[in-house]
Every structure is written in C-alpha cells, then in structure tokens.
Chains A and B, each alone.
Chain A
C-alpha cells in the first residue's frame, strides 16, 4: 500500500472513537434503507406467494359482482365444455381469542384436487391414516379443520387440539404445509356453509378453463370472471398506495442516510485538509491525494455498508411484522415472513454505503482539489467570507426551492413527481443552514453568554466559525427533525380529520357485527327494528367491485336513516343530497371522484347481476374508509341490481324522544349476544378505528425514530470532529485559564447550539413538509383531503429530541475532554 494511503487510513485507528461514530452513522443510514426495503419486499413477496398458493393452478375465478352465488350454478358449470376443472370455495375470516384474524377456506377436497393439489393432499393424507377411527371426520364433524403447520406451531396445536375462534371451537384433525406464510384454516365446504350461514351459497368458484372467450360469452352476464393475472392485478392495485407509502419511507431513509454519509465523507476530507497540503508541498499529485481519500471513503463505505446490511436485516424482521399488520388491518390478511439473510443483502448494503459515500465525498473533494496547497497547509483557519458564502449557498438553495415548487405543482401527473419535489425541497432548505446559523448566531450568543458565560459565547462562535463542519450536521439533523414534525403534524391532522369524519358519519349509538367476520342475519335486522325505542337501523353492506378495471367498493346503506341521524361531510351541499339516493342515485367518495375524475351529475357504470347498470352521481362526500373509492347507494337500489341481501353490520339509532336510551341499547346488545354477534358502542367503534389508524402509522413512526437515530450520529460525529480538530486549541484555552469543566461546558453548548439551530429551522421546514405531505403527497397517493390541524405535540417532541440528542451527542466528546485534558496540551500531534 502506498504510504500516502497508509497515512490516511491510520487516522481511522488513531481516531477510533470518531471512526466508530462515522461507521455507525453510515451503518444506520444503510440500515434504514435496507430494513425498509427488505420489509417492503417481504410483504410483497409473501403477498404473491399467498395468492399463488390459494389460487393453486386455477386459471380463472367466477363470482357474483357482489355477494355469494347460488350453488345450483355448479351443475351448469359441470356441463360447460370450456371448464376442465372447478372447485367451489367459501372464503371467510375468523378471529382467534387474541383478536388475530385467520383466513378460513371451505373446500370440497375432491373437487379441489386439481386446483389446489397441495391442500387436498393434506386432506387425503389425513384420510389415509390407518390409525384414525373415523376416516371421514373432516366431513362428518362440523367443527373439524385442518390448520397450516406454521399456525399450529405458533399456537402449539396438534391433531386432536381444540382451537377457540369467534365462530366457536374447532377440532384440529391435522396440519398441512403452507408455503405462503399466511395462516390458513381448511374445512369442508358444507360445514363452512353451515357455520357462516350460507346454506346453498358459495363465495366463488375457482376454475381451470380451456377456452376463455367461449366461457366468458356464456357466463359474463350477472357474474364477474377474473383471470389469474387480473386477480393478481386487482390485489396489487389494492396495495398500490400502501406500496407507494413504503417506497416513500424507503426514499426518506435513503435521503437522511445519504445526508449522513455525506457528512461523514466531508469530515474525512476536512480533517485531512492540512495533511493534504503537506503532501502537496512534498510533491504528491492531486490524483494521489484523491486516491488516498477514496480509499478511506470506500473503507468506510464497505465496512459501514456491510454493518448496515446486518443492522438493516435485523431491523427488517421488526418492520416486516409492522408492515404485515398494517396491510392486514387495511387491505387483506397478510402475515409476511421476513426475507432470509442473503449475500445479496450484504452486497446491497455495501453498494449503497459506497455509492452514498462516493456521492457524499464529491463536493468536499472538489473543494479540496481546487484549494491551493498553501491554503490547505494552513489547516483549520477562521473563515472570513463565511457570511458571503452562506448567502451564496442560500441563493442556490432558493433556486432549488423554486425547482421544488415546480415539481410539486406538476405532481398531479404522478405522485413520484411529488416525492421528487419533496426531496428537492428538503435539499433546498438544507442549503439555508449556513445562512440560518449566521442569522441566529447573535441571538444565540446573547442567550448562551448569559446562561453559560464565556464558554457559552465561545461555543456559539465555534459553531459559526466552523460552518464547514457544523452546517452539514445541522442540516442532517434539521431534516430528521423536520421529518419528525412533518410526519407528526400530518398524522395528527389526519387523526383530527378522521375524528371529524367519524363524528359526522358514524353517529349510531350501537353497532352490531363490525369486525367483518360475521354477517348479520336479515331477520335479526328486522328484529332490532321492532325493539321499542329504536329510531332507525342502518344496514351496512360493503363489497369490492371493479370499476374501469380497478378495484373500488360499493356500500349499501339506508339512505333515509342516514339522512335523519347523520350529517355527512359533503364536498358541496347538505343532507338534501340523500333525496336522490333514495330514488336510486348514488353518492361517491372524494377518493372515487378524484381517482376517476367523476363529478356531481356524472354517471357511473357498474356490472350488476343483470349486466351493466348506470347510476347518476348526486353528490360527493369526504371519506377515509378506502383510498380506492367508494360508491354509496341505498340498500333497496343495491338489492335490485345485485340481488345480494347480505348485511355486514348494523348501525342502531335510538329515537331521540325515547326516554330510556340505555335500556334500548342494552336490549339490542343482549339480542345480539344471543346470536353470537359482536357489538360496539359508538365510542368503542371510534376507538377501534383510531387504533387501526395508529397501527397503520406504526411503520411511519418507526421511520421517524430511525431518522432521529441517524441524525444523532450526524451531530455526534460533527462534535467529535470538532473536538479532535481542536485539541490544540483546547490546550490554548487551558493555558488562558479555562478549567476542564469550562471546556466541557463549551463542548456541551456547541452541541446544544447545533441542536437548537436544527430545531429552529425544523419548525418552519417541518410545517412546510407537513403541508406538502397533506396537500400534495397524500392527496395524490390516497385521493383524499386531510384538513391541516395545528398541534403543538410534534414541535414539542422535536424540541425535546433536539436538545436530548444534542446533549447525548455531546456526552462522549465531554468525556474525552475530561480524560484528555487534565494537563495542558498545546503540542502538535
């Protein structure tokens, strides 16, 4: 190895503490990206596997546009020459005692043999076991189920075990291997029909079709036929916004990570500035110095990247669970298995570490190359042109902000343009850091000199005079704090919008069967209506349909009941909007309106049981139940066009004039309990929705924490670099009469000063970020309006984080001060 390179690399060992901080900084940056990326990949690959496994070798499925199918159609299917094989399915959910929802598939093992051979193999293996007394218990025992081996291991169940669920107790007769990772319970289709009260009906039929066109021509009317690819596309489309969200978070992690690595690379360059000058005076070429720097930067990139890959892998195991839980809550049940460790992860970590290091080191290296050796050799000098340079950089920042504004304005083309605009905005405001330091330094100096005396005053001067080192760290920390404020404000605003929506739309006193795993029998609905004191009962039916090839939802309600008891958040108009709904018109959610550009007065065409039906749109309302879009119609209209009488849940409204409201609610609750139907009061339902909401943002919160950790290393690295570079200066302070305590105090004030400047900037930047997330990103990703709501909490949290992190980051340099400076040290290294 060349001596020049050796000279640089030895710094890493001589300044071990700084090297470790820098390494951890890079590792955290890489870990954030790898962790987020891996968990997103886990979710998507588990999702694909689950679809593959459950659909088996079927080529198509057939179902009603909404609701179950009469099983009599199976006889006709059997006669159809285009159908090679078919298998009827009941596809439902049950809840375990801990609240976890599990997929239940009711199948006919004989018909399923050619569609899902793995599953029927599990059944036939069970049937063939000679030791079993009852070979046919799967059919004969209504509660017999097969469960997948992962679930069995998780619940410590085996053949003969009992499994308690929301649908009663099941007897496990055997387990089967399930490569999809999604917990699955299998039962005989007849038993499933009985259990879910679907006598004579099935949910869908999976098919192997040999002539699609012929099949479609015979079955298109009144049915929805989906090919395997279409099904995959439909489900993938459901995840689109969520996927976008994950990608955005990965990019955010990438942004902060790159910032930190840039910070690290810049430290490496500035701290070698004097040595570079000496080397140049000895005749070293620029390229040799650059090569030595690059070796050091790559050393960090490789080692930090590898460490980050390991951290990221560990992190992904935690994040995968959160991502899976969020998808399960919002879309469909998914239990993603974490991605296995692979050398590719390591390679990705190293590649990211190196690329980000390379990108991060370009600007400081160019500056160093352009610096005359005589200036470089002077090492750290006070920089007089700081103000002018900070102003120039801020001007560049202003230009970048203009570019960001253009991106954001054009984000209606694609949300990615909005993301780009957001990152460009963060980059632009980062360039205002130096300017802000110059701007707030006098006030900070005034405050610090009163609190901390001379060391407080010097600390502010040090932060200001060493902007080359401090500004990037402050910018990185500011971005992390702004992310925290921005995401926090966005979440709080969303929460408030959701509460407003719930208070206007979900006004029933009691809700029956809201968990989605048990439908409400129609006779129960009639029974509740007759309970004395009841003012009205709203039936709720929600089904997924296809509109213009995309998945949307139809919700059937009682328009007259909702008109009387609720006050929807209408985009325009008021409750008079219900009048046309009673006559057969529909209202659509804001997300539907934005997604398909449907305005009031337009018509929407949906496939009904008798073919395409056109519904006039009478109004648009705010809604946060689904970002895919929702068409709401009266139950009578729905039954007329879809012939589906299923009721998912009931909203019970007590007559406002009735004196004993509590008694009425208690009566309905009792009757629901008798039918094993869960109930929830309005506040319980609101709380459940809010907990679902909070669960959805668990990933976002994790990323906020991660960003803060990453930025913490940035500040710690900056302080450590300042400390290492100013050892001699500290010696001079000691010689001038400073105590070790004062020097430690100065270091602490520097840390707090950097944290404060970051926080001051993040107040404005975080608020702007929140508005961008609300007005651009969310609107574009989810097509719904969130109303900005100011809350103090995100700012308070960011302030506390800023101070705590900067004090935390100062602790190690302070400890080093106490360890290193019992004596005066002025000598050069």
Chain B
C-alpha cells in the first residue's frame, strides 16, 4: 500500500469546531485528527450531525475552526490567510455538493468554464471536453433547471475536475440522486479522480460508496475514526 508511505496531502490535528459566538454548547468537532495521502480515495461515513460536513467545510477553507490545525500540502491553512485559502480553492481544490449548487443563470458549459476562468486558465475546449467526459456532450448550452438531478451533479463534477485539482471534496454527492444515478455518479467521480491521481474525500451515507473508497473513515460525535468494516454507517 504505497500511499501509506507518501507525504500526507491533508493533515488535521486536534480540530475543534463550535458554532456560535462562544465555546458553549456541543461542539461539532471534538479535537479530531486525520491524515490523508495524496491520490487517496476516502469515504467518510457518519450519522447526521456527526460533524462530517463541518469537517469538509473546514478542509475547503469555507469555514474556520475554533481550535486545531489544518495542513494542506504541507501548508498551515491558518497562516495561508483568507487570500491564500481562496487561491487554494481556486487552483487546488474541487468541491462537489449534495444539492449541486450550480449557478442557475449559467449554462452547463459556463458553469464548468467558470472554474477555469477563476483559475486564470480560460479554456473553452477543455470545458467542452470535460463536459463530454462526464457524458453531457450536446447539453452544454442547457441551464441547470433544464437538466435532471443526475445531469446537474455531472456538471458539478465536471466543474470540480476541469481545473485538475489535487483534492476533491464531495459532500454527499449521491445524496440527492436515485441509486442507479448515484452509482453512475460515483463511477464517474472515482474513475476520474483515479485517472488524474486526485485525492478524493467523499462524505456519504450510502453504503455503496464503500465499494469505491480505498480508505473508509467514520465520524462519531465529532471525531474521525478508521473503519475498515464499512458496516457501521447509518442514516
């Protein structure tokens, strides 16, 4: 298992997260730690409210931890500052949401191109190719509301992949899809990540995700634990 000996691309140390202005009430994360190697494909299971999405948001730099340290590709997220975190999301990170979060006023093609434009590498041909690679050839000019849920998620995946990020974070990527479509989406996402050697962390409830992950983690009450059984997760 080569990846165990590789330099971790993500290192989380004693991460705490409280919501609200003070450290009162139940924390969403309770001093969790985690290391993920480059190119790894990780499935993170956990019950609702266990802190999975919180962890993902923190890893994406969308939210700030109350305490603890996050290192991405060897760099401390906190010292990166707001500007650095934005640059990281722009160039090195892809995000796939449960509710797709496509911009409703942009076509499928424009949603994908947006990622490249933000990264300062506008490339319409690449955007088209990526859309084609997720099976949406011919649907480039459709608006999100003119696409099915599965198709919208494919656009979201294309949007995440097109800039060739080193990490993709997927928050319940199949949560809003039927099983058949969900399987297709996972096939697509994981294959693309494997092919591009992209680190993928998928938060999921769906057991089927186990099949695609090289490493399975479980989040229990705000703490990540290794779980090789892939049996525990519940709704």
Q: Which residues of A contact B (CB under 8 A)?
A: 2-4, 6-8, 10-11, 14, 274-275, 278-286, 288, 372-374, 377, 827-829
Most buried by A among B63, B104, B105: B105
Closest to B94 in A: A282
How distant is the Cα of A285 from the Cα of B115 in the complex, in angstroms?
A: 12
Q: Is the CB of B57 within 8 A of A6?
A: no
Q: Is the CB of A829 within 8 A of B104?
A: yes
Q: Which residues in B have their C-beta under 8 angstroms from that of A374?
A: 57, 62-63
Q: Which residues of B contact A (CB under 8 A)?
A: 57, 60, 62-64, 82-83, 86-91, 93, 95, 97, 99-106, 110, 113-115, 117-119, 144-145, 159
How distant is the Cα of A829 from the Cα of B144 in the complex, in angstroms?
A: 7
How distant is the Cα of A49 from the Cα of B135 in the complex, in angstroms?
A: 75
Q: Which residues in A have their C-beta under 8 angstroms from that of B91?
A: 283
**Taking the nearest CB of chain B, how far is it from the CB of A729, in angstroms?**
15
Closest to B144 in A: A829
Q: Which of A3, A10, A282, A828 contacts B90 (CB 8 A)?
A: A282
**Taking the nearest CB of chain A, how far is it from the CB of B127, in angstroms?**
10
Q: Is the CB of A282 within 8 A of B62?
A: no
Closest to A15 in B: B105
Q: Which residues in B have their C-beta under 8 angstroms from that of A286?
A: 82, 86
Closest to B176 in A: A828
20 contacts between A and B (CB under 8 A): A3-B117, A4-B114, A4-B118, A6-B105, A14-B105, A275-B104, A279-B103, A281-B62, A281-B101, A282-B90, A283-B86, A283-B87, A283-B88, A283-B115, A285-B83, A288-B118, A374-B63, A377-B62, A828-B99, A829-B145
How distant is the Cα of A827 from the Cα of B143 in the complex, in angstroms?
A: 14
**Taking the nearest CB of chain B, how far is it from the CB of A271, in angstroms?**
11
How distant is the Cα of A2 from the Cα of B114 in the complex, in angstroms?
A: 9
How distant is the Cα of A92 from the Cα of B73 in the complex, in angstroms?
A: 93
Q: Which of B87, B95, B145 contacts A281 (CB 8 A)?
A: B95
Q: Is the CB of B62 within 8 A of A7?
A: no
Q: Which residues in A have their C-beta under 8 angstroms from that of B117?
A: 2-4
How distant is the Cα of A288 from the Cα of B89 in the complex, in angstroms?
A: 14
How distant is the Cα of A281 from the Cα of B94 in the complex, in angstroms?
A: 9
Q: Which of B93, B101, B118, B144 contacts A284 (CB 8 A)?
A: B118
Other 7 A-B pairs with CB < 8 A, given A282-B89, A285-B90, A286-B82: A280-B86, A282-B118, A282-B159, A283-B87, A283-B90, A284-B90, A286-B86
Q: Which residues in B have their C-beta under 8 angstroms from that of A282?
A: 89-90, 95, 114-115, 118, 159
Q: Which residues in A have their C-beta under 8 angstroms from that of B101?
A: 274, 278, 281, 377
Q: Which residues in B have their C-beta under 8 angstroms from that of A278?
A: 101-103
How distant is the Cα of A286 from the Cα of B113 in the complex, in angstroms?
A: 19
Q: Is the CB of B62 within 8 A of A280?
A: yes
How many A-B contacts at CB < 8 Å in the complex?
86
Chief secondary structure at chain A's binding surface: helix
**Taking the nearest CB of chain B, how far is it from the CB of A229, in angstroms?**
61
Q: Which residues in B have their C-beta under 8 angstroms from that of A275?
A: 103-104
Q: Which residues in A have their C-beta under 8 angstroms from that of B86?
A: 280, 283-286
**Taking the nearest CB of chain B, how far is it from the CB of A60, in angstroms?**
70
**Taking the nearest CB of chain A, how far is it from the CB of B101, in angstroms?**
5
Q: Is the CB of B62 within 8 A of A373?
A: yes
Q: Is the CB of B64 within 8 A of A372?
A: yes
Q: Is the CB of A11 within 8 A of B90?
A: no
How distant is the Cα of A383 from the Cα of B90 in the complex, in angstroms?
A: 30
**Taking the nearest CB of chain A, how far is it from the CB of B48, in angstroms?**
16
How distant is the Cα of A73 from the Cα of B92 in the complex, in angstroms?
A: 98
Q: Is the CB of A14 within 8 A of B104?
A: yes
Closest to B145 in A: A829
Q: Which residues in B have their C-beta under 8 angstroms from that of A281?
A: 60, 62, 89, 95, 97, 101
**Taking the nearest CB of chain B, how far is it from the CB of A211, in angstroms?**
76
How distant is the Cα of A480 from the Cα of B136 in the complex, in angstroms?
A: 53
Q: Is the CB of B106 within 8 A of A3?
A: yes
**Taking the nearest CB of chain B, how far is it from the CB of A128, in angstroms?**
74
How distant is the Cα of A278 from the Cα of B102 in the complex, in angstroms?
A: 8
**Taking the nearest CB of chain B, how far is it from the CB of A292, in angstroms?**
11
How distant is the Cα of A14 from the Cα of B88 in the complex, in angstroms?
A: 32
**Taking the nearest CB of chain B, how far is it from the CB of A827, in angstroms?**
7
How distant is the Cα of A288 from the Cα of B114 in the complex, in angstroms?
A: 12
Q: Which residues in A have their C-beta under 8 angstroms from that of B93?
A: 283
Q: Which of B62, B95, B102, B106 contacts A372 (CB 8 A)?
A: B62
Q: Is the CB of B100 within 8 A of A3?
A: no
Q: Which residues in B have their C-beta under 8 angstroms from that of A288?
A: 118
How distant is the Cα of A3 from the Cα of B114 in the complex, in angstroms?
A: 6
**Taking the nearest CB of chain B, how far is it from the CB of A117, in angstroms?**
67
Q: Which residues in B have their C-beta under 8 angstroms from that of A827?
A: 145
How distant is the Cα of A41 from the Cα of B31 in the complex, in angstroms?
A: 70
Closest to A3 in B: B114
Closest to A827 in B: B145
Q: Is the CB of B106 within 8 A of A10?
A: yes
Q: Which of A7, A274, A285 contacts B106 (CB 8 A)?
A: A7
Most buried by B among A3, A14, A288: A3
Q: Is the CB of B62 within 8 A of A11?
A: no
Most buried by B among A7, A274, A279: A7
Q: Which residues in B have their C-beta under 8 angstroms from that of A372?
A: 62-64
Q: Which residues in A have their C-beta under 8 angstroms from that of B82?
A: 286
How distant is the Cα of A650 from the Cα of B217 in the complex, in angstroms?
A: 104
Q: Is the CB of A3 within 8 A of B159?
A: no
Q: Which residues in B have their C-beta under 8 angstroms from that of A377?
A: 62, 101
Q: Which residues in B have their C-beta under 8 angstroms from that of A14?
A: 104-105
How distant is the Cα of A776 from the Cα of B29 in the complex, in angstroms?
A: 60
**Taking the nearest CB of chain B, how far is it from the CB of A383, in angstroms?**
13
How distant is the Cα of A438 from the Cα of B102 in the complex, in angstroms?
A: 35
Q: Which residues in B have their C-beta under 8 angstroms from that of A3?
A: 106, 110, 113-114, 117
How distant is the Cα of A11 from the Cα of B86 in the complex, in angstroms?
A: 25
Q: Is the CB of B62 within 8 A of A8?
A: no
**Taking the nearest CB of chain B, how far is it from the CB of A56, in angstroms?**
65
Most buried by B among A4, A6, A283: A283
Q: Which residues in A have their C-beta under 8 angstroms from that of B106?
A: 3, 6-7, 10
Q: Is the CB of A283 within 8 A of B118?
A: yes
Q: Which residues in A have their C-beta under 8 angstroms from that of B83?
A: 285
How distant is the Cα of A7 from the Cα of B83 in the complex, in angstroms?
A: 23
Most buried by B among A274, A278, A284, A288: A278
How distant is the Cα of A827 from the Cα of B151 in the complex, in angstroms?
A: 14
Q: Is the CB of A6 within 8 A of B89?
A: no
**Taking the nearest CB of chain A, how far is it from the CB of B179, in angstroms?**
19
**Taking the nearest CB of chain B, how far is it from the CB of A281, in angstroms?**
5
Q: Which of B60, B62, B110, B119 contacts A6 (CB 8 A)?
A: B110
How distant is the Cα of A161 from the Cα of B189 in the complex, in angstroms?
A: 94
Closest to B93 in A: A283
How distant is the Cα of A285 from the Cα of B86 in the complex, in angstroms?
A: 6
Closest to A14 in B: B105
How distant is the Cα of A6 from the Cα of B103 in the complex, in angstroms?
A: 11
How distant is the Cα of A274 from the Cα of B103 in the complex, in angstroms?
A: 9
How distant is the Cα of A377 from the Cα of B99 in the complex, in angstroms?
A: 11
Q: Which residues in A have their C-beta under 8 angstroms from that of B159?
A: 282
Q: Which residues in A have their C-beta under 8 angstroms from that of B89?
A: 280-283
How distant is the Cα of A14 from the Cα of B107 in the complex, in angstroms?
A: 13
How distant is the Cα of A285 from the Cα of B57 in the complex, in angstroms?
A: 17
**Taking the nearest CB of chain A, how far is it from the CB of B60, in angstroms?**
6
Closest to B91 in A: A283
